[in-house]
Copies of this chain bind each other. A is one copy, B any other.
Amino acid sequence: MSTELWYTERYEEHGAALSLKVREVLHREQSPYQTIEIFETEHFGTLMTLDGLVMLTDRDNFLYHEMMTHPALFAHPAPKRVLIIGGGDCGTLREVLRHPEVELAEQVELDERVTRVAERFFPLLCERNDDPRSRFHFQDGIAWAENAKPGSYDLIIVDSTDPVGPAAGLFGEEFYAACFRALGEQGVLVAQSESPLLHADLIRQCQRRMQGAGFDSVDTLFFPQFAYPSGWWSATLARKGVERNAFRRKDAEQMQGLQYYHADMQAAAMVAPAFLLPEH
Q: Which residues of A pack against B, CB within 8 Å?
A: 6, 8, 10, 13-21, 41-44, 59-60, 196-197, 222, 224-226, 230-232, 258-262, 264-265, 267-269, 271, 273-275, 277
A42 CB contacts on chain B under 8 angstroms: 15
Query: Considering the complex of A and B, which 3 residue pairs feature the smallest CB-CB distances, nearest first?
Result: A231-B231, A15-B21, A15-B42
Within the assembled complex, what's the spacing in Å between the Cα atoms of A215 and B259? 28
The chain B residue sitting closest to A255, CB to CB, is B274
A20 CB contacts on chain B under 8 angstroms: 15-17
In the complex with contacts A17-B18, A41-B15, A259-B273 CB distance below 8 A: yes
Of B226, B262, B264, B274, which is within 8 A of A261 by CB? Answer: B274
Q: Given A14-B43, A14-B44, A17-B19, 12 other A-B contacts at CB below 8 A?
A: A13-B43, A15-B20, A16-B18, A16-B44, A60-B197, A196-B224, A197-B224, A225-B231, A226-B230, A231-B231, A265-B274, A267-B268
Count this chain's copies in the assembly.
2
Within the assembled complex, what's the spacing in Å between the Cα atoms of A189 and B163? 43
Within the assembled complex, what's the spacing in Å between the Cα atoms of A268 and B225? 17
The chain B residue sitting closest to A267, CB to CB, is B268
Q: Tell me how far the C-beta of A7 lies from the nearest C-beta in chain B, rounded to whole angstroms.
A: 10
A267 CB contacts on chain B under 8 angstroms: 268
Within the assembled complex, what's the spacing in Å between the Cα atoms of A42 and B42? 30
Within the assembled complex, what's the spacing in Å between the Cα atoms of A259 and B274? 5
Within the assembled complex, what's the spacing in Å between the Cα atoms of A278 and B45? 26
Q: Tell me how far the C-beta of A226 lies from the nearest C-beta in chain B, rounded to whole angstroms.
A: 5
**26 A–B contact pairs at CB < 8 A?**
A14-B43, A14-B44, A15-B41, A16-B20, A16-B21, A16-B43, A16-B226, A17-B21, A60-B197, A196-B224, A197-B224, A222-B224, A224-B224, A224-B230, A224-B231, A224-B232, A225-B231, A226-B232, A230-B231, A231-B232, A258-B274, A260-B274, A262-B277, A265-B273, A265-B274, A268-B271
